[in-house]
Structure 1
Amino acid sequence: MVTKFADFSLRFDRKGQLDANDKESTGLIEIRMYYNGKASYKSTGYRITQDQWNKKKNAPKDALMNRNIQTMISEYQTFESEFRAIHKTFSIEDLKRKDQPVPEPPQKKTSFTDFFREQLDIEKPLKQPSLRTRRLTFDYFKEFRSEVSFDEINNDLIKAFNSFLHEKRKKNGKPLNLNTIAKHHKHVRKYILEAIKSRHIAIIDNPYLHIKIPKQDSESNYLTEEELQRFEELTFSESELLLERSRDMFLIACYTGLRFSDVYKINPTHLYNTLEGLELNYQAGKTQKFGQKFLYLLFGGKPQQIARKYINSENKALFKGLTNPKVNLQLKIIAKRANVQKATKFKDSRNTFANIMSTKVPITVVQDEMQHSLLSTTQGYLKRNPEFKKKALAKIKWE
């Protein structure tokens, strides 16, 4: 990648102090420093008349004065090069520090544990859905070894951490399953890679280059159209508002394919009334991709009906106050009432959307609705959908 350096030029009488009626009136010559969309000005200390300024060359006519100013510019350019070499970064504000002592860069950290913690703090404002599990990984890592230096990151340490996770017990006394353990390794590997990018660890010392963490195949549940209808037909008493809101939040996700974090963020400002019906504009929290949902076209307009049910004048989130664990607890009750013999969880809504939609529209439309970059990712949701096969086979004319 080509490094771009600051651009330097001269400005005469930038503040318009010259008096046009006074030939002896003088204006200040300044050095303009421009970088990355920002400009800063530094006085040369020279003031000259209009006749002493060469407009065509944008420089003073006096050769000695011009040489002295070019020397000043050269000193700024040297400062910039030295600053970049020391700090590996640069901004226009740094040029103002030219005549100040350049502080030494902070000492390289020796603790991977501190680096891990700092990375989590950096990610905190992003409100990533997985941040809570990453923090749990950090807690486990600290419990495993209170302090780990960068030099200690090796195969033996990761193998020992793996043994620790296998011996770890949840609050209910049950061991962590293989996929949970694999997820914790995934998080540790992520921050080791970040440490490599920051040059705290050499690429060749990445232990995950040589260690493979096993996972077990898990088949996510999804509701059939008939089971989804049973959820839709449930009625609730006035005292069961939490159950009803949880059911409706789950249904919105089934109808749109949105993740929990994205459904949770929907508020009236994201919804638009068009001539055809209600549209939802959103930005996915996990991928940061922007998307649009035509609620009046999905599942016969059912998501539009639910959205309108919860639109409020205060512009509050439609499902404010509902958390994923809280909704999952309600879904156990709801599934039982609907006589659905599946361990239904909120994440099953996305599988439900994919599997039902795949029987009605081309797979590429499903891919776009789910914001998948790769078609194979979408296909991974459909490999165990008998309804998809049944409808495809039913269309065959055997004669």
Structure 2
Amino acid sequence: MTNKVTIKSTKEPVRLRVKNLANGVQSLYLDCYVDGKRSYEFLKLYLIPEKGAMAKAQNEATLQAANAIKMTRILEITNNKAGLKNTSLKAKQTLADWMETFKKKQAQKGIKDQKLIHKTINVLTKYNINIPLNKIDRQYCIGFMSFLKNDYRTRSGKQVQTFTIISYMSCLRNALNTAVREDIISENPINKLSVQDKIKVPESKREFLTIDELKKVEETENPHKHIKQAFLFACYCGLRYSDIRQLRWKDLIKDGDQWRLNKLMQKTGTPIYLPISKKAIGWLPEKGNMSDECLIFPKLPREICTKIYITPWMEAAGISKPITFHCSRHTFGTMMLTLGVDLYTVSKLLGHTKVETTQIYAKIINKKKDDAVSLIDDAFSDMEF
């Protein structure tokens, strides 16, 4: 008589849960319970109210992505408990070999970061790129940052800017994250750096047009009509230049009285389905006999070349700020917040993946409020209280 073998079922260590937000939106997060300790991982993925087929399809895609992350986390936990990670020959390969592999992988995906990876490899070579992957730790990362800040010099003998250092560290972090996802190393040491360890990002100044300035720009002639139309369209919808340049008539859909934009964003690769104001639609050129496949703004040059058309136009409108085409996006963000639209909605309209990115615009608005209130003090400065 053979003994009956029973397999004890175990609960999943990771569960997908939802958190209710405003306007019926739900935030997806992972509830992880391992070795008696509970932790949460917010995925920055959101389910939206299903008011149509498009919203339902978007939610299905979002859930698929969330469940894929969940299964990856379960596999990572299972492998760690079995001691399967960080022991293979792959983990003993040098950072130099892995960076070349990472570069090829990114190229195959069509991700346009080859130049940055090449520069990062050159800088790592001058530091220590022959270290095995499984020997890279927190101290190595801190040492690399210190090398960039204090010792490394460009060909012209200058120190690198803070944003350049952040770019190099971001490239290395992405490479190591890829190694983690492919089970080559168990964790990314850069993710263990404390706030004090990391390079502080200097807060950039975001130029934008106020509503009154925008009206002046509208009233000012620009001999390059396609530039004026594209710029003002961007001011009223918030699209990036790369998306406007690739915008086709088929991307615009009329839903009753409301125009909507259905497009894949060039920078992030994420789909957007956004309402477009009548004011924005009013700045589109005439379609005429063009087909739906035609570009809406076929004559737009590369973004770097638009400055020669925009600067004299702004000067003619009496605007002294250094306005570029990208400032149209800043104008839209600050205008929405000024008109009372909430931060979360503005982040969705701009296609931001993180609300933190949109908070920069909120800081601009708060500064304007502070300046406005200070006018009271200035007006009554000669009076005693």
- Whether TM exceeds 0.5 here: the answer is yes
Residue aligning to 2:177:
193
Residue aligning to 1:351:
330
Paired residue for 1:215, among 201, 225, 242?
Answer: 201
| Contact persistence 2:92–2:134 (CA under 8 A) | no
What secondary structure sits across from 2:284 in the alignment? Answer: helix
What secondary structure sits across from 2:234 in the alignment? Answer: helix
| Contact persistence 2:217–2:317 (CA under 8 A) | yes
What secondary structure sits across from 1:249 in the alignment? Answer: helix
Q: 1:150 to 1:309 in 2, by over 3 A?
A: same
Q: 1:361 to 1:248 in 2, by over 3 A?
A: same
Q: CA deviation at 1:202?
A: 4.6
Q: CA deviation at 1:129?
A: 6.5
Q: TM-score, normalised by structure 1?
A: 0.56
The whole-number CA distance in structure 2 between the counterparts of 1:194 and 1:140 is 20
1:114 paired to 2:100: no
Q: Which one-letter code corresponds to 2:359 in the other structure?
A: Q
The whole-number CA distance in structure 1 between the counterparts of 2:161 and 2:289 is 40
1:305 paired to 2:283: yes
Residue aligning to 2:346:
366
The equivalences for 1:48-67 within 5 A come to none
1:286-343 deviation line (CA, Å, top 9, x unaligned): 4444323333xx2x52344325469943824334563332335544444334332222
Residue aligning to 1:91:
none
Residue aligning to 2:359:
379
The equivalences for 1:1-399 within 5 A come to 110-124=93-107, 126-128=109-111, 133-134=116-117, 136-138=119-121, 140-141=123-124, 149-150=132-133, 153-154=136-137, 155-156=139-140, 159-160=143-144, 162-164=146-148, 167-169=152-154, 175-203=159-187, 206=190, 209=193, 211-237=197-223, 241=224, 244-273=225-254, 275-276=256-257, 278-295=259-276, 298=277, 300-306=278-284, 308=286, 312-313=290-291, 315-320=293-298, 322-328=301-307, 330-363=309-342, 364-372=344-352, 375-385=355-365, 389=369
Q: CA deviation at 1:270?
A: 0.8
- Deviates most, 217-226 or 313-322: 313-322
The whole-number CA distance in structure 1 between the counterparts of 2:288 and 2:305 is 19
| Contact persistence 2:141–2:189 (CA under 8 A) | no
1:119-172 deviation line (CA, Å, top 9, x unaligned): 33333365556665455444544566675542563434652465346644488x
The whole-number CA distance in structure 1 between the counterparts of 2:188 and 2:106 is 26
Unaligned runs of 5+ in 2: 1-10, 13-78, 80-87, 374-385
What secondary structure sits across from 1:281 in the alignment? Answer: strand
1:47-97 deviation line (CA, Å, top 9, x unaligned): xxxxxxxxxxxxxxxxxxxxxxxxxxxxxxxxxxxxxxxxx9xxxxxxxxx
The whole-number CA distance in structure 1 between the counterparts of 2:306 and 2:149 is 28
Q: 1:349 to 1:323 in 2, by over 3 A?
A: same
Q: CA deviation at 1:361?
A: 4.2
The whole-number CA distance in structure 2 between the counterparts of 1:356 and 1:341 is 19
Paired positions, count: 284
The whole-number CA distance in structure 2 between the counterparts of 1:301 and 1:283 is 22
Task: Quote the RMSD (CA, aligned, Å).
Answer: 4.2
Q: CA deviation at 1:382?
A: 1.6
The whole-number CA distance in structure 1 between the counterparts of 2:289 and 2:99 is 41
| Contact persistence 1:153–1:206 (CA under 8 A) | no
- Deviates most, 258-267 or 309-318: 309-318
Q: CA deviation at 1:267?
A: 1.1
| Contact persistence 1:279–1:294 (CA under 8 A) | yes
| Contact persistence 2:310–2:323 (CA under 8 A) | yes
| Contact persistence 1:129–1:286 (CA under 8 A) | no
What secondary structure sits across from 1:212 in the alignment? Answer: coil
Q: 1:140 to 1:271 in 2, by over 3 A?
A: farther
